[in-house]
């Protein structure tokens, strides 16, 4: 069975969120379905999008699993974002980032050390 994902993150201000997620993800959106929704393709059949929806904004929680999460977090920090914390579970580490609405995106994966 092939697996894909199209995961949405509700935000209050799409343009502000796009600026933040562009720093987090390291690239501009792949496409805009309309003026209040922007989509990034992370890998084949794996997408994340922000959509302007003030009523639901702030409740999103997700994690992007990477082969080398520490290196990606270093790149994110160089782009101007700081994690608000880390979580360690055995040899898995997650760096936690919050957007302006409070949505949480983790950058994580297997690692031997946490930053």
Q: What is the pLDDT of residues 42-100, one digit of tens each?
A: 999 999 999 999 999 999 999 999 999 999 999 999 999 999 999 999 999 999 999 99
Domain locations in the chain as residue ranges: 5-110
Averaged over 103-109, what is the pLDDT? 97
The pLDDT of residue 98 is 98
Domain at 5-110, CATH class: alpha beta
The pLDDT of residue 112 is 65
The pLDDT of residue 20 is 98
CA distance 62 to 98: 11
Question: How far does CA 20 lie from the centroid of its chain?
Answer: 9
107 and 69 in contact (C-beta within 8 Å)?
yes
CA distance 112 to 59: 30
Query: Could you tell me where the DSSP H helices lie in 11-50?
Result: 14-25
CA distance 101 to 77: 19
Residue 115, pLDDT > 90, answer no
């Amino acid at each position: 069975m092939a697996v894909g994902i199209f995961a949405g993150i509700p935000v209050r201000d799409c343009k502000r969120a796009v600026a933040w997620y562009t720093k987090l993800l390291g690239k501009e959106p792949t496409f805009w379905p309309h003026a209040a929704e922007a989509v990034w393709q992370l890998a084949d059949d794996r997408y994340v999008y922000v959509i302007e929806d003030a009523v639901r904004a702030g409740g999103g929680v997700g994690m992007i699993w990477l082969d080398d999460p520490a290196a990606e977090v270093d790149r994110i920090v160089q782009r101007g974002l700081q994690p608000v914390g880390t979580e360690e579970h055995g040899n898995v580490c997650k760096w936690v980032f919050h957007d302006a609405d409070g949505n949480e995106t983790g950058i994580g994966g297997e690692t031997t050390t946490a930053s």
